[in-house]
């Protein structure tokens, strides 16, 4: 259905205006535009790009002057209609501008109209040449002609210039005269193919599925056969072979003519998955959506999808927007991972967006994890999502034996706070003697410090909220980051009266040094943390060396807990299991549980049984006890009961409202004023908590305060708040932003 000439169209500007504007489409080019086309429009005095959003049907005679679209950058839509719907949903639900959504969804070089790269290939029209007298021609032309005469294939322009030192003007001249003809060849820029090759030894044969895997595959293919939207959780213990189930599901969807999206928390951490995928679906082109793709690579990946050349994408968060044709299946691996939540605008959660996207395309969304998020479990319990379970590791391998090391007793032994306990050090030594591998795991978040009593393990908590208080160095107070409650830092433990209160923190570097001192000299120790992640090659090399057995002990932060499969690891040490528990976040126990089960899952994946040592000051805390037994159900029951009692997520949505300003007085004044206004309105649908200073009170010179809204309906809450926000006279030096379904509260 093409538009008629001179019709009116709505165009969403890319560059400073937040809703579609009306333009006249009198563009009489060869290409006709459609929704999703990229065009240039006038906006004020500027000319900016915009996306054709819709054709206006019954238009009354406009009262204002309507401008023309200036030019068509690209008629082929940069957004499919399905993705345009998704953009509208994201901008509404996450309360962000359409422009911010489009920026996240469409790779910058595509938005800017960057074309695929092609090269000019030239060849000689030999028949034409025979009719001409070449002797009269200039020397440089002769040179080109005699060079081309010797070639059997068309030749790249660059090469001709190199060999004949002819200028492009000379060559173009010959082209004009018809003596030389040219063709274009598209060059594909594929990102680091070799990245995934060295882990390719893993699996190259078909495996016989276990009974549980077979059941799961049947359930999933039944879903897919219905060709209707559905979401299913694949809840499978670590090492139960979830990836194999994903692959079977993919094969089924592809065989039915559908496209597949495979989301992983971080592509760099999934080299094995990618290489297994490439091997399994070798005849298909698998697009890998890296976070560090170059502009050209991104355009080509994008184009190969738009042009139906590939229909499988594997990638992290932003790949949820990949324009996959006929999308039938979306897999979200490790769906509980926080890296799926984007922490700046648009603050979307890729798992939730995946579900919404599946809905718009009648696809199946398959969420997989050994430690599913409570949000997802709640949706299963409500009957919104289906569930398939894998309760056994493949080959009936045992889950590793988990030892809890009570650090309170370790502290007694040496009269100071130990970092590495005796039992863990002994276990490490034993692995070195036997030539087995170990991972030491430290969960460190730089900024937060809580008050921990080394004698009884008590952590100072807020009396209004079920979270720990945070020590603020600036004024020596303990503060609650949820409700704003504060009290002076106590000198004695309020539980056991001990004077020995400590504020704690130590880094991976220190652990690495300590281990080096304690273990035999020939032991090879490497560290993986945020610093190393920035050096891409170093990170890949380290992982690959570890896989090959060239490293004995790997020390790292939570990033090494994500889905890695190293068969030779028989020992995992968790240095500080309580850290996530002490965070000022009601999701702390959930994080602690997930983290412990996931790291433990890295041990004993090969033929030898695995062991895990968990150092803790709170050995009796529920998350640690349940994690020790890998008891997901037990943990979920207890934690959900607590969430229910406080009416926290997943029973209500949490929206965080952050205010920031260079002036502390202003930010405090305005957030108080705003809170008062919200409270006066007494919205039935919204429970307000706060305001309080944010955990990071000052960031980049900005003072930060926040308040929280708990609500059953994000849409209603945003409408009500939006209405009064429009009238609220906020100082231009104070900025505010909403984070819907907030995760990281920093």
Residues that bind ligand ADP (CB under 6 A): 203, 207-210, 213, 236, 238-244, 394-395, 565
Q: From the CB of residue 473, how many other CB atoms can be counted at a distance below 10 Å?
A: 8
How far apart, in whole angstroms, are the C-alpha atoms of residue 389 and residue 49?
A: 49
By CB under 5 A, residue 492 contacts Zn ion:
no
**Which one of Zn ion, ligand ADP, none interacts with residue 556, CB within 5 to 8 A by kind?**
none
Toward ligand ADP, which CB reaches closer, 203 or 737?
203
**Which one of ligand ADP, Zn ion, none interacts with residue 238, CB within 5 to 8 A by kind?**
ligand ADP
Identify the H or E element spanning 629. none
Smallest CA-to-CA distance from 312 within 234, 249, 254 is with 254
Toward ligand ADP, which CB reaches closer, 142 or 397?
397
By CB under 5 A, residue 453 contacts Zn ion:
yes
How far apart, in whole angstroms, are the C-alpha atoms of residue 425 and residue 436?
A: 14
By CB under 5 A, residue 278 contacts Zn ion:
no
Smallest CA-to-CA distance from 573 within 601, 604, 611 is with 611
The residue within the footprint of Zn ion, chosen from 114, 456, 677, 688 (CB under 5 A), is 456
Smallest CA-to-CA distance from 653 within 709, 706, 736, 591 is with 709
**Which one of Zn ion, ligand ADP, none interacts with residue 161, CB within 5 to 8 A by kind?**
none
Identify the H or E element spanning 433. helix 422-434
CA 360 to chain centroid: 21
**Which one of Zn ion, ligand ADP, none interacts with residue 493, CB within 5 to 8 A by kind?**
Zn ion
By CB under 5 A, residue 173 contacts Zn ion:
no
> Which residues are within 8 A (CB) of 109 and not within 5 positions of it... i.e. 6 or more apart?
295, 296, 298, 299
Smallest CA-to-CA distance from 7 within 59, 63, 70 is with 59
State the alpha helices, DSSP H only, in 690-741.
Answer: 714-727
By CB under 5 A, residue 363 contacts Zn ion:
no
The residue within the footprint of Zn ion, chosen from 465, 574, 654, 678 (CB under 5 A), is 465
Toward ligand ADP, which CB reaches closer, 457 or 601?
601
Toward Zn ion, which CB reaches closer, 170 or 498?
498
By CB under 5 A, residue 495 contacts Zn ion:
yes
By CB under 5 A, residue 498 contacts Zn ion:
yes
**Which one of Zn ion, ligand ADP, none interacts with residue 210, CB within 5 to 8 A by kind?**
ligand ADP
**Which one of Zn ion, ligand ADP, none interacts with residue 203, CB within 5 to 8 A by kind?**
ligand ADP
The residue within the footprint of Zn ion, chosen from 329, 358, 493, 559 (CB under 5 A), is 493
> Which residues are within 8 A (CB) of 401 and not within 5 positions of it... i.e. 6 or more apart?
609, 610, 611, 612
In angstroms, give the least distance from the CB of 629 to ligand ADP.
18
DSSP 436-505: -EEEEE----TT---EE-TTT--B-B-SSSSSB-EEETTTTEEE-TTT--EEEPPSS-TTT--S--EE--
- The site that binds Zn ion (CB under 5 A) totals a number of residues, namely 15
**Which one of Zn ion, ligand ADP, none interacts with residue 297, CB within 5 to 8 A by kind?**
none
**Which one of ligand ADP, Zn ion, none interacts with residue 465, CB within 5 to 8 A by kind?**
Zn ion
By CB under 5 A, residue 588 contacts Zn ion:
no
The residue within the footprint of Zn ion, chosen from 147, 485, 669, 683 (CB under 5 A), is 485
How far apart, in whole angstroms, are the C-alpha atoms of residue 81 and residue 36?
A: 7
Using CA atoms, how far residue 203 sits from 277, 278, 660, in Å, is: 10, 11, 51
Toward ligand ADP, which CB reaches closer, 109 or 239?
239
**Which one of ligand ADP, Zn ion, none interacts with residue 242, CB within 5 to 8 A by kind?**
ligand ADP
How far apart, in whole angstroms, are the C-alpha atoms of residue 603 and residue 573?
A: 10
Cα of first residue to Cα of last residue in the chain, in angstroms, is: 50
By CB under 5 A, residue 377 contacts Zn ion:
no
CB 140 within 8 A of CB 174: no
In angstroms, give the least distance from the CB of 608 to ligand ADP.
14
**Which one of Zn ion, ligand ADP, none interacts with residue 480, CB within 5 to 8 A by kind?**
Zn ion
CB 237 within 8 A of CB 399: yes
Toward Zn ion, which CB reaches closer, 493 or 614?
493
Toward Zn ion, which CB reaches closer, 77 or 461?
461
Q: From the CB of residue 266, how many other CB atoms can be counted at a distance below 10 Å?
A: 17
By CB under 5 A, residue 496 contacts Zn ion:
yes
**Which one of ligand ADP, Zn ion, none interacts with residue 194, CB within 5 to 8 A by kind?**
none
What backbone phi and psi angles, to 5 degrees, belong to 150? -80, -10
**Which one of Zn ion, ligand ADP, none interacts with residue 517, CB within 5 to 8 A by kind?**
none
In angstroms, give the least distance from the CB of 192 to ligand ADP.
23
From the list 175-183, 194-202, 455-463, 578-586, the region that binds Zn ion by CB under 5 A is: 455-463
DSSP state, residue 318: G
By CB under 5 A, residue 228 contacts Zn ion:
no
By CB under 5 A, residue 582 contacts Zn ion:
no
By CB under 5 A, residue 482 contacts Zn ion:
yes
How far apart, in whole angstroms, are the C-alpha atoms of residue 302 and residue 109?
A: 10
Beta bridge partners of 387: 233
State the alpha helices, DSSP H only, in 257-362.
Answer: 271-280, 295-306, 350-360
By CB under 5 A, residue 314 contacts Zn ion:
no
Mapped to the 3 state alphabet, what secondary structure does 65-99 carry? CCCECCEEEECCCCCCHHHHHHHHHHHHHCCCCHH
CB 555 within 8 A of CB 526: yes
In angstroms, give the least distance from the CB of 456 to Zn ion.
3
Toward ligand ADP, which CB reaches closer, 241 or 649?
241
Toward ligand ADP, which CB reaches closer, 213 or 711?
213
Please report, to the nearest 10 degrees, the dihedral formed by the alpha carbons of residues 736, 737, 740, 744 taken in order.
-100
**Which one of Zn ion, ligand ADP, none interacts with residue 394, CB within 5 to 8 A by kind?**
ligand ADP
Toward Zn ion, which CB reaches closer, 529 or 578?
578
DSSP 337-359: -GGGB-SSSS--BHHHHHHHHHH
Toward Zn ion, which CB reaches closer, 462 or 627?
462
Toward ligand ADP, which CB reaches closer, 207 or 255?
207
**Which one of ligand ADP, Zn ion, none interacts with residue 133, CB within 5 to 8 A by kind?**
none
> Which residues are within 8 A (CB) of 247 and not within 5 positions of it... i.e. 6 or more apart?
276, 277, 280
Which position's Cβ is nearest ligand ADP? 241
**Which one of Zn ion, ligand ADP, none interacts with residue 413, CB within 5 to 8 A by kind?**
none
Binding site for Zn ion (CB under 5 A): 453, 455-456, 458, 462, 464-465, 480, 482-483, 485, 493, 495-496, 498
């Amino acid at each position: 259905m093409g538009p008629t000439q001179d019709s009116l169209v709505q165009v969403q500007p890319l560059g400073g205006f937040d809703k579609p504007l009306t333009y006249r489409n009198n563009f009489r080019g060869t290409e006709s535009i459609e929704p999703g086309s990229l065009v240039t429009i006038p906006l004020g005095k500027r000319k900016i790009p915009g996306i054709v959003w819709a054709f206006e049907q019954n238009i009354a005679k406009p009262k204002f002057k309507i401008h023309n679209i200036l030019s068509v950058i690209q008629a082929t839509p940069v957004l499919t209609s399905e993705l345009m719907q998704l953009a509208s949903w994201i901008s509404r639900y996450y309360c962000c501008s359409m422009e911010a959504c489009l920026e996240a969804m469409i790779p910058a070089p595509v938005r800017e109209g960057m074309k695929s790269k092609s090269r000019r290939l030239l060849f000689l029209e030999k028949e034409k040449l025979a009719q001409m007298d070449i002797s009269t021609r200039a020397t440089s032309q002769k040179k080109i002609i005699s060079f081309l005469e010797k070639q059997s294939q068309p030749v790249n322009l660059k090469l001709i210039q190199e060999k004949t030192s002819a200028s492009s003007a000379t060559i173009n001249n010959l082209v004009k005269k018809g003596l030389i003809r040219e063709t274009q060849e598209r060059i594909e820029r594929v990102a680091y193919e070799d990245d995934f090759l060295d882990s390719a030894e893993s699996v190259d044969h078909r495996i016989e599925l276990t009974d549980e895997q077979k059941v799961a595959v049947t359930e999933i293919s039944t879903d897919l056969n219905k060709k209707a939207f559905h979401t299913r959780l694949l809840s499978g213990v670590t090492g139960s072979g979830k990836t194999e189930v994903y692959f079977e599901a993919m094969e089924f969807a592809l065989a039915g003519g559908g496209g597949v999206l495979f989301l992983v928390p971080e592509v760099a951490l999934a080299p094995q998955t990618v290489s297994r995928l490439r091997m399994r679906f070798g005849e298909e082109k698998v697009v890998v959506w890296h976070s560090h793709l170059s502009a050209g690579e991104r355009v080509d990946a994008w184009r190969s999808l738009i042009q139906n050349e590939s229909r499988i994408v594997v990638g992290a968060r932003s790949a949820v927007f990949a324009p996959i044709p006929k999308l039938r299946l979306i897999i979200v691996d490790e769906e509980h991972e926080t890296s799926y939540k984007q922490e700046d605008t648009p603050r979307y959660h890729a798992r939730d967006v995946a579900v919404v996207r599946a809905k718009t395309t009648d696809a199946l969304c398959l969420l997989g994890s050994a430690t599913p998020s409570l949000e997802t479990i709640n949706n299963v319990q409500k009957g919104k999502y289906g569930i398939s379970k894998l309760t056994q590791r493949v080959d009936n391998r045992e889950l590793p034996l988990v030892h809890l090391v009570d650090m309170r007793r370790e502290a007694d032994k040496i009269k100071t706070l130990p970092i590495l306990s005796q039992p863990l050090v002994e276990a490490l030594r034993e692995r070195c003697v036997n030539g087995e591998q170990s991972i030491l795991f430290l969960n460190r978040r730089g900024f937060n410090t809580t008050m921990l009593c080394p004698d009884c393990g008590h952590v100072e908590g807020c009396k209004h909220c079920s979270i720990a208080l945070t020590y603020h160095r600036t004024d020596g107070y303990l503060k609650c980051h949820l409700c704003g409650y504060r009290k002076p830092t106590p000198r004695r433990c309020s539980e056991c009266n001990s004077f020995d209160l400590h504020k704690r923190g130590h880094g991976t570097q220190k652990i690495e040094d300590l281990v080096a001192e304690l273990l035999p000299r020939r032991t090879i120790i490497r560290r993986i943390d945020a610093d190393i992640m920035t050096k891409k090659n170093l990170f890949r090399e380290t992982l690959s060396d570890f896989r090959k057995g060239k490293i004995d002990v790997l020390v790292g932060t939570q990033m090494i807990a994500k889905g890695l499969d190293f068969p030779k690891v028989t020992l995992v040490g968790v240095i500080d299991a309580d850290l996530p528990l002490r965070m000022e976040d009601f999701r702390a126990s959930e994080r602690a549980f997930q983290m412990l089960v996931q790291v433990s899952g890295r041990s004993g994946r090969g033929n030898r049984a695995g062991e895990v040592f968990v150092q803790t000051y709170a050995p009796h805390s529920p998350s640690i006890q349940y994690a020790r037994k890998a008891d997901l159900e037990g943990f979920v029951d207890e934690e959900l009961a607590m969430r229910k009692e406080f009416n926290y997520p997943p029973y209500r949505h949490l929206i965080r409202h952050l205010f920031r300003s260079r002036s502390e007085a202003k930010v405090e004044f305005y957030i108080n004023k705003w809170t008062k206004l919200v409270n006066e309105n007494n919205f039935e649908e919204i429970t307000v908590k706060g305001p309080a200073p944010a955990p990071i009170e000052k960031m980049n010179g900005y003072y930060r305060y926040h308040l929280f809204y708990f609500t059953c309906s994000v849409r209603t809450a945003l409408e009500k708040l939006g209405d009064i926000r429009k009238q609220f006279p906020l100082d231009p030096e104070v900025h505010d932003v909403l984070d819907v379904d907030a995760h990281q509260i920093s």
